[in-house]
Amino acid sequence: MFLQHVADGILSGAIVGLGAIGLSFSMKMLRFANFSHSELLTWGAYSALIFLSFAGSFSGSFDTIGPFSFGIPLVIAMGFSCLLTSVIALLLHRFVYLRLSKTAGHMTMVFASFGVALILRHMVVLIWGSDPIYYSNELQLAVLLPGNVRVLPDQVFLLGLTVVVVIALHLFMTRSRAGIAMRGVAESPDLARVSGVNVDRVITFVWIIGASGAALAGVLYGMTVQIRPELGFSLILPLFAAAILGGAGSLYGAVLGGLIVGLSENLSVMIIPTTYKPAVPFLLILAILYFQPRGIFGEPEK
Amino acid sequence: MIGVVAYLVFFLILALIFGISVLGLNLQWGYTGLFNAGVAGFTAIGAYTMAILTGPSRDAVFGGFELPFVIGLIGAMIASGIVAIIVGLATLKLRHEYLAVATFGIAVSIQLVCLNWEYLTGGTLGLIGIPNPSKPWAEGPLAQNAIYLLIVIIVVGLMFCALERIVKSPWGRTLKAIREDEIAAASLGKSPERVRLEAFVIGCMIMGLSGALYVAFIGYVSPWDFLPILTFQIWTMLIVGGSANNRGALLGAIIVWGVWTMSGFIVSRVVPSEFQAQGGALQAVLIGLILVVTLLIRPRGLIGEELHVSRHARS
């Protein structure tokens, strides 16, 4: 059972890690705790649904790929979902957060993110209703791994995709000019600006990366669990726990934080009743803020 | 006509009960700058304490002491205060958004306990049969509600006067000093940690009081009444009314609760019954919009903080 919990923990941790990248970046580079970030996961999951229903109505059903429960349309839907979620994030930035950052303090942005979260979450209920939805009704056979661990092919795909995304982001952050500029802005926006970095463009990138990570996490959650309006909201504490654990602004910190959150949530059921599982990320947050307030990869405040 | 009056009484009772929570939050955020995102958790503690102390005794569930209403109110404040001391000691050294995340987590955890610790809280079913103190005094729902409204008005009045006094006292000025510049306040010999904890605990006790009044009015307590959306509603009331202004806090409670109930009423009339879940969502979207629009066009709220100039600087 222990190994099964570890496997489940890594899988749910990968989703949390992907989702937490944007939250971690926004805490560091936009300098506010964005409580509406988790709703981008929900919108990511439902955006893919929009694409799938269009694809389905135009061309009937597609064959599934190999052992997976999905076909080519879902892969394209992931791209579409990243796009639509990024557009939503940029609109929010343009019409709410950017204006507030100019006229008011960053606490006002946190309040606004409460309001935005309420709007986004309940818009989903308005449009799609509150019943859970699934991308596919295909039945999948679990693969039996050594140690009596069962995983679904979709979950293997989830883990692979997470690894690919993290490597791609790492290359982007270390090799591309935009990525290096982004790290500069994270260090010091003023210094970056006088060095000729276009800070506004960098911030646009931060939103796109954060929203795309959230969208992918949402789709993967929808694929392996289910799609429902509280999808993102139920992950809000795990996401914050991952971002804080890893240290704001750190790519690996967010992913590693996600894995720690996922593992401790799933392993906790061996010692506490399952019903109290949602409190585990909160305990992690308290512990990390108490002992290591900057997170594992966070740099000390200067 | 009677219907309108009855509804108005009912509406005011709930609006003012929320107003009490907003007053507590105003002490924490408005005057001291403490970002408590766990309001729902502290009202829940007050509510359950009230239910346990004054409710009827039952099998297999703790409590049901059938104590008087006033003891219930005091007990609710004490219970919320004790939890607030523990929470405050653990979290108050955190700043702003980290405090928000931590207190949000506390509220989620408290709700989980309410939902799952059946021996204490009755689990998902909650606790029922909590006596309404106006019952022995009047016949019929309208008269009873009128008496309950009177009780709530007295409590709100007492809270309002007490808070107005303490925020204008030297202690209240210390709160604002800490909010504005903690290091400067500490250099003047004030103890920010201690004062922040005091403000946090008093604020949470007031939220507990509000929860207790709520359950004694509706007669039962359910874990589903203390979801995070309650915290967001209370925050919206404070922001709309104007933080650091106790009048603003009460005004915000009445306006936001007015919008909530009116939109709920319209939805229940206009929207067909199979789409009622969506109707509820519409209400939440509206609250979110009010919050965001207020922050964008009038960040200090309808009546925000009054500026004070020291009388020593005036001459």
Q: Answer whether A115 sits within 8 Å of B291, measured CB to CB.
A: yes
Q: Answer whether B101 sits within 8 Å of A244, measured CB to CB.
A: yes
Residue ranges of B 129-168 with Cβ closer than 8 A to chain A: none
**Residue A131 burial (C-beta neighbours within 10 Å; 0-12, 13-18, 19+):** exposed
* pLDDT range class, residue A292, cuts 50, 70, 90: confident
Tell me the nearest-neighbour CA distance from A283 into chain B, angstroms. 8
Q: What is the pLDDT of residue A299?
A: 57
B35 φψ region: left (φ > 0), alpha (ψ -120 to 50), beta (else): beta
Q: Residue B79's domain spans which residues?
A: 2-226
Question: pLDDT tens for residues A130-177?
Answer: 888 888 776 677 777 777 778 888 888 888 888 999 999 999 888 888
Residue ranges of B 211-270 with Cβ closer than 8 A to chain A: 228-229, 232, 235-236, 239
Q: Answer whether B296 sits within 8 Å of A276, measured CB to CB.
A: no
Q: What is the pLDDT of residue B85?
A: 92
Rounded Cα distance between B246 and B302, Å, is 12
Q: What is the pLDDT of residue A302?
A: 40
H or E segment at A145? strand A143-145
Backbone dihedral angles phi then psi of residue B127, each to the nearest 5 degrees: -120, 135
Backbone dihedral angles phi then psi of residue B129, each to the nearest 5 degrees: 75, 30
**Residue A195 burial (C-beta neighbours within 10 Å; 0-12, 13-18, 19+):** exposed
**Residue A12 burial (C-beta neighbours within 10 Å; 0-12, 13-18, 19+):** buried
pLDDT above 50: residue B82: yes
Q: Using a CB-CB distance cutoff of 8 angstroms, which residues of chain A are in contact with residue B299?
A: 103-104, 108
pLDDT above 90: residue A106: no
Model ipTM value: 0.85
Q: What is the pLDDT of residue B161?
A: 93
- Concatenating the DSSP letter of every residue in A274-301 gives GGGGGGHHHHHHHHHHHH-TT-SSPPPP
Backbone dihedral angles phi then psi of residue B37, each to the nearest 5 degrees: -100, 20
Question: pLDDT tens for residues B204-252?
Answer: 999 999 999 999 888 888 888 888 889 999 999 999 998 888 888 999 9
Q: What is the pLDDT of residue A154?
A: 81
Owner of token pair 């796009």: A83
Domain spans of chain A, in order of start: 2-291
Query: Is residue B259 one of the residues assigned to a domain?
Result: no
The two tokens of residue A292 are: 């290591």
The two tokens of residue A7 are: 């496997």
**Residue A270 burial (C-beta neighbours within 10 Å; 0-12, 13-18, 19+):** exposed
The two tokens of residue B265 are: 């009423």
Rounded Cα distance between A282 and A46, Å, is 27
Query: Is residue B269 one of the residues assigned to a domain?
Result: no
What is chain B's mean pLDDT, rounded? 86
Taking Cα atoms as reference points, which of A162, A157, A156, A301 lies closest to residue A242?
A162
Q: Is A105 on the interface with B (CB under 8 A)?
A: no
Q: What is the pLDDT of residue A51?
A: 87
Rounded Cα distance between A203 and B40, Å, is 34
The two tokens of residue B178 are: 């800490």
> B250 and B160 in contact (C-beta within 8 Å)?
yes
Q: Answer whether A118 sits within 8 Å of B108, measured CB to CB.
A: no
> A32 and B97 in contact (C-beta within 8 Å)?
yes
Query: Is residue B43 one of the residues assigned to a domain?
Result: yes
Rounded Cα distance between A51 and A54, Å, is 5
pLDDT above 90: residue A65: no
- Nearest-by-Cβ selection for A118 from B100, B277, B288: B288
pLDDT above 70: residue B176: yes
Beta-strand relationship, B220-221 and B127-128: antiparallel
Q: How many domains does chain B divide into? A: 1
> B96 and B34 in contact (C-beta within 8 Å)?
no
Rounded Cα distance between A67 and A141, Å, is 8
> Please, how many CA atoms are within 13 Å of residue B79, restricted to the half-sphere of its CB?
25
CATH 3.30.70 applies to domain A2-291 = no
Is the CA virtual torsion B24, B103, B305, A111 positive or negative?
Answer: negative
Q: What is the pLDDT of residue B279?
A: 77
pLDDT above 60: residue B315: no
pLDDT above 60: residue A256: yes
| DSSP β-bridge partners for residue B221 | B127
Backbone dihedral angles phi then psi of residue A143, each to the nearest 5 degrees: -95, 135
pTM above 0.90, yes or no: no
> A71 and A65 in contact (C-beta within 8 Å)?
yes
* pLDDT range class, residue B17, cuts 50, 70, 90: very high
Chain B contact probe: residue of A32, A46, A122 with most B CBs at under 10 A: A122
Which residues fall within 8 angstroms of residue B6, CB to CB, at 6 or more apart?
B141, B142, B145
Query: Is residue B238 one of the residues assigned to a domain?
Result: no
Q: Is A286 on the interface with B (CB under 8 A)?
A: yes
Query: Is residue B190 one of the residues assigned to a domain?
Result: yes
